[in-house]
Each structure stands twice: as C-alpha cells, then as structure tokens.
Chains A and B, each alone.
Chain A
Amino acid sequence: MSSKERILEAVKKNQPTGLPLPALAVSDHSASDLVQQFIRALGNIGGTAIEVEDWKDITLHLTERFSTDKRWVNLVPELGNMSAAANFEQHPHLLENVTLSILKGHFGVAENGAVWITDDCMGDRALPFICEHLALVIHSNTIFPTLHNAYEHIGTSGYNFGTFIAGPSKTADIEQSLVLGAHGPKSMTVFLLHLRS
C-alpha cells in the first residue's frame, strides 16, 4: 500500500461525521470613504498612497522622487516611455538592478491597504519582489471595503500567480524594531487614479 493510500485510509476511518460549512455573513462595511480608509491603512503599514487626477501626475511624482538615471521598469502603457523595455524571456536574476518598477494593480482593499496583483501584470513574477522600490497604479473606484469583497470580486478567476501586497517588505525580528526593506522593496507607493469619465 502506498503512503497516499495509507494516509487516505486512516483519514477516512478517523474523520468525524461531516459538519456543514457555515454561511459566511459578510458584514456590511459600506464605509463612506474607502479612498481615505485605504490611504490611512497603507500609511499605517509603511506604504504611501497618493491620489492623482491624471496619468501625467504619476510621471511627475515618480521623476521627483526617484533618480531617473537608475534602471526603471515600467509596465503601465498609459505612462508612456518611462523606461527601456525589459526582456522578460531572460533569467529573472537580471532584474536585480531594477531600482523602480511601476505596475498596474487590479484593486485595493480599504481595511488593510493591500493591492491585488496577478502575474499577467508583473512582466516577470520576480519583479515586484526584487526591485528596490515598487509603485502600483489602481483606479480610485476599485477599492473594496474588506477581503470578503475582494475575494468575491476575484471569484474563481484563473491566474498562475497572484498576491496581495500591503506595504514595503519589512521585518521586526530584531527586538521588535520595525525596519522597512527586509528582502524586497524598501518602499511601496500606490497611485489612486481619479479619472473623470
């Protein structure tokens, strides 16, 4: 008998009588100001959220804050030619010198300041983790109150890899002192784009 068969047999024999799944009562957080809630939540965990009215504002903010003579990787076409095109067919190790990556996120979550992003927005899956600074762009009308609403929106959609990113990489392993930039990005900026329709 294989280990699989042995484990499954023991599980079947020992598992108690079936108990039902609970009905998930999604509490109504119809919070009036999701944008402000998101900005506060992200600020509390070491990230920065900036409201912008135009794609150009994003370019302005980034060129002000980050040195343009370092390597940037921009995957937001609306921002134009902010960086040389990266070749994602090559080994991800070659992304190690990326100072800033600018990517599109799908949506934000107001209760925790997280942004949902999937591999189709990453170029290479290593990019959001290996770069020194991370900038994400979402539309200000795509912020959900809680993770319940977030997963309702994700549904059973297919992706190869998806992640909630909430702030810069961090650690408090040395005497509970918070340090930003443990292994991944040292900063995370989320642009909340208010597009007038």
Chain B
Amino acid sequence: MSTDPNSFNHSTTSDHATLADKFNLDEPRVDWHDKTLWFIRNKRDKAAWQLPEWEQLRESASQIKNNVLSNLHSYLLQFEKNAQQNGITVHWAATAEEHNKIVHSIIQKTGISQVVKSKSMLTEECHLNEYLLTRGIEVIDTDLGERIVQLAGEPPSHIVLPCIHWKKEEIGELFSKHLGTPEGISDPQFLTAAARIHLRQRFMSSRLAITGVNFAVAETGEIVVCTNEGNADLGVQLADVHIACMGIEKIIPQRKHLAIFLRLLARSATGQPITTYSSHFQRPRKGQEMHIVLVDNGRSERLGSNDFRNALKCIRCGACMNTCPVYRRSGGHSYHYAIAGPIGAILAPGLDMKKHADLPFASTLCGSCSHVCPVKIDIHDQLYKWRQVLAKNNYIGRTKKAGIKGMAFILSHPKLYTLAGAGARWLMKHIPFVVNNKLNPWYKQREMPDVPQQSFNGWYQQNRKSK
C-alpha cells in the first residue's frame, strides 16, 4: 500500500500530483493528517493573538531580513572575523558537494565512524547523511521525529514535525523492530522513553556532534540553535568536536535582533511562546573544536533575483505548511524535496528547475502561506511568478500548455467564445459523457456543474430588451 510510510521510495521521480494521488488513496488518513496540521495552525493563531504587537514584529523581522540581504557581503565578513576571534574555525562551501566534503574531512581527522546530528534542513538539502554513509560514517539523527523517519529509511515530511505523517501504532511497530520494545505498544510516553534510552547511549558514545543554525549574529560571531528536546545541546556538550552547518542567509546583524526572531519563531511554528532551549554558542568549550560551515549552494544567485530573493528570508518555522490546504491533504513527501510545502515549492525550482517544475503548481494560490509567514515572504506571489518562469523555459507539460493556449485563443476572440459556450452547453446537456469521463481532469473527484439554460450574455440581452 502506497500510504504505508515504510514503502517510501527515495529514488522516486513521480511528480507532486501523482504522489498526492497515492497519499489520497487512504482517505481517513488524509483527514487525520489535515486535522492534525490545522490544530497546529490554530495553536499558532492563539499564540500570535496574545501579542498586540504581532504585526509590528513581523514587519520588523521582514525589514531586518531585507537589511541582511542587502548588506550580506559585509555581514558575512564581520561574522567570520568575530567567530574566528571566538576560537571557531569558519569554512566556506560554494556547493552542497563541497559542504559534504568539508564535513567529511573534519570527521576523518577524528578517525571516528559514528556521529550525532540535531535537526538541520541544510544537511537534508545537501544529502549529508547519504554522503557520509557511503564513506563509512553513520549519522544518528537525534531529534525524535527525525530518528523515527531515519529508522524507517525515509526523509522527514515536515521541517518542524518530521514524522507528522506517522501514526503511533506504526511507530510502536518500528521501535519493536529496531529498538526491541515489546510488540503492540503505541503509548507516546512509553515510546518516547524508549527512544530516550536508545539515543542517550548514542549521545554518550559520540565524540562529534553536527548541528544546524537558526541564527548567526554578525556583531558577536555567535550562533543560536533552538530545540525543544535539548538534543542539540546534549550532543554538542558531550562531544570533542562541534560542526555547525548553515546557509549564508542565516546571518542577523545584532544580538538584540534575536528578540524579534525568537518571539516569532516558536509561536509561528507550534504556538509555543519560545522553544525549551535557545542556546547561544559563542566560544567552544574548553578542549573542544568548533567549526562553522557557511554554505552558498545557489543562495548568492537567488540574491540577484528581484522576484525570488525574498525566499531567503525564511526562518524555517513551517507555518506555511501547517496552513496550506494542499500540503495538509497531499503530505510532505509529495513535494519530493527536503523542504516541503509552499516555501519548499518556491525554494526547490531555484536549485533545479527541471526536477521541481511541478512544485509551483501544487498550490491553489489562496495566499494563506503569505499571511502567516513571520518574515512576510510573498510566498503565493512567488509561486505564481515561478509558473511564468517555468512556462517560458518550457518546463510545463504539453497538455497544460496546449490547454492554456487554446483557452487564450478562444478568450481573445469574442465570436468564437460565444460559439464555444453554446457548444459546450449543448454537449453537457445532451451527451454529458463527452466531458464526464476520465480524460477530463476537471471531472476527477468532481461532478460537473448543472448546465445553465443560457449564457450570461444571452440573459442580459433578453432582460435589457424586455425593459
């Protein structure tokens, strides 16, 4: 069964619509998925409404990020200088491949074969785990949700809630297979306790910890990592080497700006007032080596695009996914990219237009994503603009293209339009199976509307005359 999360295929080449179709085979599951995410969206609303200055915070965050993007060159240099003065080694990676190589070479020097890693969307983007695994190094994801999908051989389906598509009974089964818990257990408390014991052993035995970065402060050369579980802190504080991986857009100018972003981040993500831990790493612990890898991987190029630059403001809260009617009903894996949902759909085509040409179409353009975004990214406008770019570059399907061209032709010829309308009404009334069939994508999961007796134009003419 395709909705069995265990059957996820890494090498999938199916597009969003096909993968969403598969997800939709199990209707109760889709309803459950939809409701769970909407519940989180509601929690976000409640948290946001408690702050009268919420909109002001979003505006400030947006303006700070605009300032960062327009001064990134000097902020990057400032950050590097300060981090180095703090005793941190700073690396620069132009591509995902180079990032992986750098991380690998640091691990190689320590001669170890198992490392712990807390959540980092960048390392997902770069496929670091796979890269290291083929070189004999096992990466243990320590965020509970990430560990669950890792044990199942899947990528995360949500950036904040990596196993939001898994049911507790399935997790019980998975743990019974991999962690040796008794069969048939689905109590979250019990399963979390089992994972705690399992991962505590890994924390205790790993001498190297990899983390992501939520914010990097240019003014002080420190990085901030936010978690609820404390897995980043436990990993780093017990290790001899700490590697923090970040995209170059994660910089913020001053420490005081953290107030704005930390107030927005957790409230937008899960409705919490703040994550349990907001840890500021300024200098390595005594005897510890600390590395920061600054990664470009297409970001500097995107910086030059007026239409798509703003996507670099993202702080990875996931609010746009929780609110998206398409994401909630198609599941994170249907996006076949490390970052799912609306923000993923505008980030992915920038990296590989051909591979991700389907994603900007996985949207109703309702705009809900833009309304909840804490840094005011114009997500739905960018989805629309990507469609134009994709069409121009011939990355949309022939059927879609022909359909739109045909429609444009008819709409720009009034006489033809009137004729076509009359024809369609006649067809739908007398031989409905011509449109009510599988060849018509509009008929899928929909009834065609009742046929009106006459066109609006006809009605207008008639009623004008009778006056």
Contacts and interface: CB of A to CB of B under 8 A. Distances in A.
Interface of A: 2-4, 6-8, 10-22, 24-25, 27, 41, 44-45, 92-93, 96, 109, 111-114, 119, 124-126, 128-130, 146-148, 150-152, 154, 156, 158-177, 179, 181-185
Contact of A6 (B94, B229, B237): B94
22 contacts: A10-B300, A15-B71, A15-B73, A16-B70, A21-B64, A45-B272, A96-B204, A147-B259, A147-B263, A147-B274, A156-B220, A156-B255, A160-B283, A161-B285, A166-B275, A171-B228, A173-B144, A174-B168, A175-B166, A175-B188, A179-B189, A182-B196
B224 to A, nearest CB: 9
Given A16-B70, A154-B255, A169-B228, A24 B260 contact: yes
Interface stretch (B5-13, B52-60, B364-372): B52-60
Interface of B: 36, 39-40, 52-53, 56, 59-60, 63-64, 66-67, 69-73, 76-77, 92-94, 98, 142-145, 148, 161-164, 166-168, 171, 188-189, 191-193, 196, 199-200, 203-204, 219-220, 228-231, 233-234, 237-238, 248, 253, 255-260, 262-263, 270, 272-285, 294, 296, 300-301, 303-304, 306, 309
B182 to A, nearest CB: 16
A185 B278 CA distance: 15
Given A24-B60, A182-B229, A7 B200 contact: no
B168 A181 contact: no
Given A128-B233, A182-B228, 9 more contacts: A10-B296, A24-B257, A44-B273, A96-B204, A124-B237, A126-B237, A162-B279, A169-B229, A184-B229
Contacts of A184: 229-230, 233-234, 276-277
Contacts of A22: 59-60, 63-64, 67
A161 B231 CA distance: 16
A162 to B, nearest CB: 4
A151 B280 contact: no
Contacts of A16: 69-70, 303, 306, 309
Contacts, number: 240
Given A165-B276, A171-B144, A19 B66 contact: yes
Contacts of A14: 300-301, 303-304
Contacts of B171: 174
B278 A114 contact: yes
A1 to B, nearest CB: 10
Given A156-B220, A176-B39, A183 B282 contact: no
